[in-house]
Amino acid sequence: MPIPDRYWLNGFRSGAFRFALLLAMAFAASATLLLLVVERSVSHYAEEATEGGLTSEAAILQAEDREHGRNGLLRAIDLHRRAGGDDAFQYRLIDHAGQMLVNDFGSSPVRLGWGSAVVPEDRTGPGARSEMFKSLGVRLADGSVLVVATDTYDIDDLRSRLDRFTILAGIGITVFALAGGYLAGGLFMRRLDRVNAAIGRVRAGNVAERLPMIGISPEFNLLSSNLNAMLDQIGALLNGLRQVTTDIAHDLRTPLTRLRQQLETMREHGPAQDYGAGIANAIAQTDEILGIFRALLRIGTLEGGDGRQYFTTVELTELADRVVAAHQPVAEDKGKTLSCDHAAGVEVTGDAELLTQMLVNLIDNAIRHTPAGTHIISRIEHIDGRIVATISDDGPGIPADERANVLTRFYRLDRSRTLPGAGLGMAMAAAIAQLHQVQLDVLDNQPGLRIRLTFPAMPASAG
């Protein structure tokens, strides 16, 4: 598959290429510094070895001169020349009168102590060259001067090789890193293009589209997973918004139509003395509609997660006791009984007002949608280390295929259509449970209905 032209440009502009460029510069600088240190260390060692050889050779010849005289020294120099071969030392011997007795340096000047000398090769022609020698000059007992020298060709050649290797290695590392950075940048850009294409399809309205895994590292895959999770949540919110819009259009149409018909009847046929009662009835119906809107706004706010920052430790037992006590007279008026079995001292994390509203809605729902003679009980207990609250009744219950629907907005069973209300109480309770990360389950009580609330585990005490 041919690579589009933009990849050549994008590869160089990518963060991967720039990062590789920085690494290349760091590698090149590090390699250069390392090789320079090696070159200096090797050169220093070679120079020390050379100086040690010259010092030893000069000491041996001085000893020969002291023990065997001038002739012994000359024989020793000749013997060392023949024994050394191509690597033999070079010598110069000048007696105290200035006469040159041995001279391997030609006309090159030398001096006492450490010095250097340039010595031409023994051959002539275009290939002939001069060599640099390191020398050590010492004065003999009779005042003569002995100079011992050795060439530094090997040291200079080693230093030259190390210098070339340092340069070539630095260039090679830089080029390799740049090539790797370009390839990595191109690969990264191609994968990002697939992600951007998927994002474009989402923006175009395909909310079911999800981002592909980038695949370069677990961190990028985690980013794609989190973005997909966010898209899932946005999709769920959009579906909820569409459902709410449909529900509002369906469930508010009846009270609005009824209100409009009543107002038209009052205008056309109602006697003047009935206007006050009609207006009061219209206001009551308007308040009911406004209450529905307030409940919807409250549910939307809760589902958006607003309010968690105000959570504190709440004593659930005391809160539930108060709710049950407030609803017992209401239940008795309707011929039902409401009792409780609450474990003492149970605490949870949350908003006390919202938790109260959740329990009120659940108990009120049980009172309103069960026949006379029903027994309703509220329990709070510890089960498997978790706090569990239940609202149970022995009424007619809810068919299994409709239990999941009772937590949605405006949903009402057929037998409840004649009762007042908009079908938002259970939806409000579900939104509060979601905000508190409480699992709300609608179960069969055999007979009747059981709402189970499983609270998250409390964090361990810091003490």
Structure-block tokens of residue 95:
């007696």
pLDDT at 437: 86
Number of domains in the chain: 4
Q: What single letter denotes the amino acid at residue 326?
A: A
Structure-block tokens of residue 263:
């107002």
Would you say residue 462 lies in a domain? no
347-350 and 113-120 as β-strands: parallel, antiparallel, unpaired? unpaired
Same domain (yes/no): 202, 227: no
* Residue 434 to residue 453: CA distance in whole angstroms: 11
pLDDT at 123: 47
Would you say residue 460 lies in a domain? no
Q: Max Cα separation, the chain?
A: 158
* Residue 96 to residue 263: CA distance in whole angstroms: 143
Note down the domain range covering 99.
1-121+129-209
Would you say residue 162 lies in a domain? yes
pLDDT at 461: 47
| Three-state DSSP state, 275 | helix
Would you say residue 64 lies in a domain? yes
Same domain (yes/no): 238, 181: no
Structure-block tokens of residue 296:
């919807």
Same domain (yes/no): 232, 332: no
Residue with tokens 């000047």: 109
pLDDT at 377: 94
- For 341, half-sphere exposure in the C-beta direction (CA atoms, 13 angstrom radius) is 9
Same domain (yes/no): 298, 199: no
The answer to whether 94 and 145 are in contact (CB under 8 A) is: yes
Residue with tokens 């179960």: 443
Same domain (yes/no): 235, 261: no
For residue 19, the surrounding DSSP H or E stretch is helix 15-84
pLDDT along the chain (463 residues), means of 10: 47 62 73 76 81 88 87 87 74 85 78 78 53 85 88 77 77 76 73 83 80 76 84 75 64 70 70 67 70 62 62 90 92 92 90 86 88 92 90 84 66 46 70 85 88 79 41
What angle do the packed helices 218-251 and 253-268 form, to 10 degrees?
Answer: 30
* Residue 454 to residue 93: CA distance in whole angstroms: 107
pLDDT at 121: 61
Residue 152, Cβ density class (10 Å: 0-12 exposed, 13-18 middle, ≥19 buried): middle
For the chain, the first-to-last Cα distance in angstroms comes to 63
Tally of CB atoms within 10 A around 413: 15
pLDDT at 421: 46
Same domain (yes/no): 70, 217: no
Which residues make Cβ contacts (< 8 Å) with residue 196, sequence separation at least 6? none
| CATH number of the domain that residue 319 is part of | 3.30.565.10
> How much is the pTM?
0.46
Same domain (yes/no): 290, 421: no
List, in sequence order, every residue forming a beta bridge with 450; answer none if it has no partner: 392, 443
pLDDT at 370: 87
Would you say residue 459 lies in a domain? no
Same domain (yes/no): 274, 346: no
* Residue 75 to residue 259: CA distance in whole angstroms: 138
* Residue 267 to residue 369: CA distance in whole angstroms: 37
Tally of CB atoms within 10 A around 40: 12
Same domain (yes/no): 326, 290: no
* Residue 16 to residue 92: CA distance in whole angstroms: 65
pLDDT at 188: 74
Would you say residue 461 lies in a domain? no
pLDDT at 178: 72
Would you say residue 463 lies in a domain? no
pLDDT at 341: 92
Structure-block tokens of residue 436:
């508190």
Q: What single letter denotes the amino acid at residue 297?
A: L
Would you say residue 169 lies in a domain? yes
Structure-block tokens of residue 96:
């105290």
Chain Cα centroid distance, residue 78: 77
Same domain (yes/no): 201, 236: no
Same domain (yes/no): 70, 203: yes
List, in sequence order, every residue forming a beta bridge with 90; answer none if it has no partner: 149
Q: Which of these, 322, 320, 302, lies nearest to 311 by C-alpha position?
A: 302
Same domain (yes/no): 299, 428: no
